Amino acid sequence: MDIVFLLFDRFTALDAIGPYEVLSRLPGAKVRFVAAEPGVIRTDNGFLGVQADGRRDDVERCDILVVPGGKGTRALEADPATLEWIRKVHATTKWTVSVCTGSMILAAAGLLEGKEATTHWSRLEELAEHGATPTQARYVFAGDRLAIAAGVSAGIDLGLALVARIAGEDLARGIQLGVEYDPQPPFDGGSVDKTPAPVLAMVRAALAAGA
């Protein structure tokens, strides 16, 4: 099972590392982190660097392609070389996966046209500009080979659901137990609908300032 994670400047760490912790436990998994050029790729806050060992354009095919989100997605949505590479590799995959605003890259590449899709709540309605149908679902399987997660932490949920589809529910449950993924958040406020107005306004302002 050849699994490729696309890294880029200012990606969100958990978008990649969440599904990595799940998918890397598939039997026979081989995981590669690639970028436009090999080296340390900094996350959206600049604090963390993740090593990309491979060059993106050297990858012509894989079983699973994972595209994370983050502030850096806006540049890639308008980058013809990245979009063409995604289209080329997607044609070979068993599953093409996005987390958070990674779906905006897939949408810009034309992969989500006419399909139900999700992304981070702050950009959800923008999916319609690329012909997709936005949904507030935590994750969605869009057609036979597309798996799309909403914001950041949703990538863990999608990873487990994808393992269940690939290798069965027992293995997915075993992985869930192995990583002790038993969410018990201190606040019931992980969505727009559950968040008090002042907190929502604060987060919107922070997102706008950091865009």
Q: Could you tell me whether strands 139-141 and 146-149 are parallel, antiparallel, or unpaired per DSSP bridges?
A: antiparallel
Q: What are phi and psi of 99, to 5 degrees?
A: -130, 135
Selecting among 13, 100, 109, 163, the annotated active-site residue is: 100
Q: What are phi and psi of 102, to 5 degrees?
A: -60, -30
3-state helix vs strand vs coil in the chain, percent to 5: 40, 20, 40
Residues 74/106, Cβ–Cβ less than 8 Å: no
Buried/exposed code over 38-60 (b: 16+ C-beta within 10 A; e: otherwise)? beebbbbeeeeebebebebeebe
Clarify whether 100 is annotated catalytic. Answer: yes
Distances in Å between the Cα of 79 and the Cα atoms of 30, 42, 108, 168 are 28, 19, 9, 37
Residues forming the active site: 100
